[in-house]
Structure 1
Amino acid sequence: MVSAEDLISGEPSNQSSGNGREAGRSVEPPKVLRDLAAEADVHFNGDRPWDIQVFHPSVYRRILLQGSLGFGESFMDGLWTSRRLDETIYRLLSSDLDQRINRRIRLRWMGALLRNLLFNRQSRKRAFQVGEQHYDIGNDIYTAMLDSTMSYSCGYWPRADSLEQAQRAKLDLICRKLNLRPGLRLLDIGCGWGGLARHAAEHYGVTVDGITVSREQLTLARQRCDGLPVNLQLMDYRDLDGRYDRVVSVGMFEHVGPKNYATFFQTVDRVLDDQGIFLLHTIGEQNDTIATDPWIDKYIFPNGKIPSPQRLIAAFQPGFVLEDWHNFGGDYDRTLMAWWKRFDAAWPSLQGRYDQRFYRMWKYYLHSCAGYFRSRQGQLWQLVLTKRKRPPTYRSLR
């Protein structure tokens, strides 16, 4: 196998070690990178909006040695940019260049792969890490970026003209799929800032218990749900108890991890009434990969893992019947770009508390995820599950 070091040796020798635009533009990328990018119709230092503008030659080395991690980190360091970053990522992912580059350096990532295979990275001890690193960064960021419902998951856009409308449509779609009505008890696993709990209590007359692993989320969610029949707690899902007519989980399953899928569904089975309904809203991906993208794992969602259809089915089949599987992954692209527009507009009021590297990190996060869904590597699924004891009376709806 050709190593990354061997590939780098093909770089021209007239590299400049200085900073600035001229340093990168005086150096052509290694042929292997130039050819791979060309397959996605992306050029280094080209003139089109999605072309990559390199400001320092170290970018090439970091991509070849570190793959997608080096690509993302060098963007955070201000060493390259693109006028249409979302379109750049979309084109690269549509050609599977991330996987091909990472395969070239797979020996460097063998340790990460082994950790995912041998260890439970989503154990009880690690359950709160994603809350501390991502969701607790500051409610000011999320208040600026999200709509008034504080929904941090994919909106539902078929008849929506704004982010607010798309998120309210999503919340109502969930409530209608759950067939909520006054007097029912709803459990919200991963309640976030309380958007769904508040909507369900206000508009459908249900009593809601919700849990989160984020202290900052919990503080604001309790304020937002004050005066409603809503009880929110800081808790790992494995500690749940009680009995509920309905259970819902929105945007949380990505943090469960394959080694805990059976425990998650067993927990839902334990707390859900035999005549109840469970709705799972999760990002999904078609390919059953072992590890998460290393940049996302390091900077955004530590210990996360997006499920594949195969693993999901194997995990819920012992106890649940699949009533409905709804895919509207295309709506996540539009949601993410709406979040970026709001975040970018609010940046002047935020930059006193966050630096430019954070700004570039957040830009890369939102744009790369938009490209991920646009390329159809990523999907958004809503599954409706019931127990075998429930009569076959469920009717799917959109």
Structure 2
Amino acid sequence: MADAASRLANLAEELLGGPLPVRLRTWDGGEAGPAGAPVLVLRDRRALRRMIWKPGELGLVRAWVAGELDVEGDLYEALDRVSGLLWERDGDSPGPLAAARDPRLRAAARELLRLAGPVPPPRPPAEEVRGRSGGRHTRRRDRQAIGHHYDVGNDFYALVLGPSMVYSCAYWTPGGTLEEAQRDKLDLVARKLDLKEGDRLLDVGCGWGSMALHAAREYGARVVGVTLSREQAAHARKRVAEEGLTDRIEIRVQDYRDVTDGPYDAISSIGMAEHVGAVKYREYADVLYGLLRPGGRLLNHQISRRPEPDEAAYAIDPFIDAYVFPDGELAPMGRTLTALEDAGFEVRDVEALREHYALTLRRWVANLEADWDRAVRLVSPGRARVWRLYMAASAVSFERNRIGVNQFLAVKTPAPGTSGMPLRPRAWTGGTD
């Protein structure tokens, strides 16, 4: 095994039909691949076993989470270099290890098996979601999915997100800080909703209470925030009490489908619709429409994906589904807009913030890396590795325009020929159109 790296590099190039985009270092200390490129480090042959038994993204991720696979050098550059292998291969082209099923490449597959050793791969890391119960997007299963992602400890989230405790795309100006950008995003939402003293705001998926606090403190709104995460709710209630706003803000552990105390003057949904599920988008839009008064506004802030040539064949990202957001789904922005219109909303504005999310994610990764040892103590080595990979890979996805994020401003139009909107509604951005 003294030259495992060279043997593996040759096999990989044969399977890929081209040069390796990264350098390899294997468990025996050998190296191969382009000089100066980020180094993909295989610390143990178990990593290779995982990739053979589960070709593609999930095998790589399991090795990463287990600490058997690592990157030396610029993680973003490494992800950018391998993104074409994992995300952007031609639809008719198999993945690099799946290609070993081709009879012409069986010799290469046998060599890979010799390098990996005969022992089956270890069990998936403990951080992987297993044993889900109930149908997708039932209330029970949604609670389980939200608990997996959000109930990992408020201290960990504070380390990653910073004092704002805002877990969604910030709104950047050149040279601004993360805290300033998150404050500006919350204020952008409030201004789009035209919040005023005494308005009733429903914040769907309220997280740790940041939007509720901003709306009550800066605009005098009366806010109901709902979340399925008990840890989020406890933290949000503590913040509300500390700011003396318990008379203006109520935080509930409640499914948005169970909210019945409308009508509200405005609804904010920031980074929540990704959890709803494609089959539930229309129900989601219907519920929010029913909770608004005539003339009320909805601000739906949601990550989107690029449309697929064959939408029926769209598959949920296996890494995100197994380790990050169980049952989470992204839809093309056109599908979200259609669902809102079908529910009766008049969509008045759509603003794309793709570049803003890439900047936000890079700042979160920097926070995590700067306090890595504490992050590991707060959760686990595997969980911290999941977060570092998912946030860095997401930043690259936004930068490469694989995914985007959009704010939809929609109105429950009060009567034919009216909208309740000013003739020049983009005043929130400083424009005049």
Per the normalisation by structure 1, the TM-score is: 0.84
Where structure 2 has 5 or more consecutive residues not aligned to the other structure, the ranges are 25-32, 99-133
1:256 maps to which of 276, 279, 303 = 276
Residue 311 of structure 1 pairs with residue 335 of structure 2: yes
Cα shift readout 1:219-273 (whole Å, capped 9, x = no counterpart): 0001111221100101111111121000010010000001111110000111011
**How many Å apart are 1:355 and its aligned residue?**
3.2
SS at match of 2:301: strand
Alpha-carbon distance in 2 for matches of 1:96, 1:307 = 23
| Match in the other structure for 1:146 | 161
Superposed counterparts of 1:204-223, under 5 Å:
204-223=219-238
Structure-2 residue corresponding to 1:202: 217
Deviation at 1:73, TM superposition (A): 1.4
Matched, 1:74 2:67: no
Identity score, percent: 33
RMSD: 2.6
Equivalent of residue 8 in structure 2, options 27, 36, 45: 27
- Structure 1 residues 148 and 364: alpha-carbon distance in aligned structure 2, compared to 1, 3 A threshold: same
* 3-state SS of paired residue (1:174): helix
1:239 to 258, 262, 267: 258
Contact kept, 8 Å, 2:50 with 2:63, in 1: the verdict is yes
Whether 2:401 is the aligned partner of 1:348: answer no
For 2:218, the aligned partner's letter is H
- Correspondence for 1:333: 358
Match of 1:87 in 2: 77
Equivalent position amino acid for 2:192 in 1 = K
Secondary structure at 2:89 match in 1: helix
C-alpha distance in 1 between matches for 2:7 and 2:149? 38
CA separation in 2, counterparts of 1:369 and 1:48? Answer: 24
Kindly indicate whether residue 297 of structure 2 is the aligned counterpart of residue 277 of structure 1.
yes
Deviations, residues 84-107 of structure 1 (Å, cap 9, x unaligned) = 2222223433x36425399737xx
The corresponding residue for 2:286 is: 266
Deviation at 1:123, TM superposition (A): 1.8
Tell me the residue number matched to 1:286. 306
Letter in 2 for 1:285: R
Structure 2 vs 1, CA of residues 287 and 148 (structure 1 numbering), >3 Å: closer, same or farther? same
Q: CA deviation at 1:158?
A: 2.5
Q: Does 1:179 align with 2:179?
A: no
Provide the C-alpha distance between the structure 2 equivalents of 1:25 and 1:240, rounded to a whole number of angstroms: 60
Query: What is the rounded CA distance, in whole Å, between the counterparts of 1:295 and 1:30 in structure 2?
Result: 22
Q: Which runs of 5+ in 1 are unaligned?
A: 1-14, 17-21, 109-118
SS in 2 for 1:317: helix
Larger relative contact order (Cα-Cα within 8 Å, sequence gap ≥ 6): 1
Distance 2:23 2:214 in 1: 47
1:270-324, Cα deviation, whole Å (9 max, x unpaired): 1011111100001111124532210110111000001212321321112111111
Give the match for residue 298 of structure 1.
322
Give the conservation status (yes or no) of the 8 Å contact 1:160–1:166: no
Work out whether 1:365 is the aligned partner of 2:390. yes
Where 1:208 maps in the other structure, the secondary structure is strand
Report what 1:115 is aligned to: none
Aligned counterpart, 1:162: 177
TM-score normalized by the length of structure 2: 0.78
In 2: Cα distance, 1:53 partner to 1:285 partner: 31
Task: Say if 1:266 and 1:96 are closer, same or farther in 2 by CA, change over 3 A.
Answer: farther
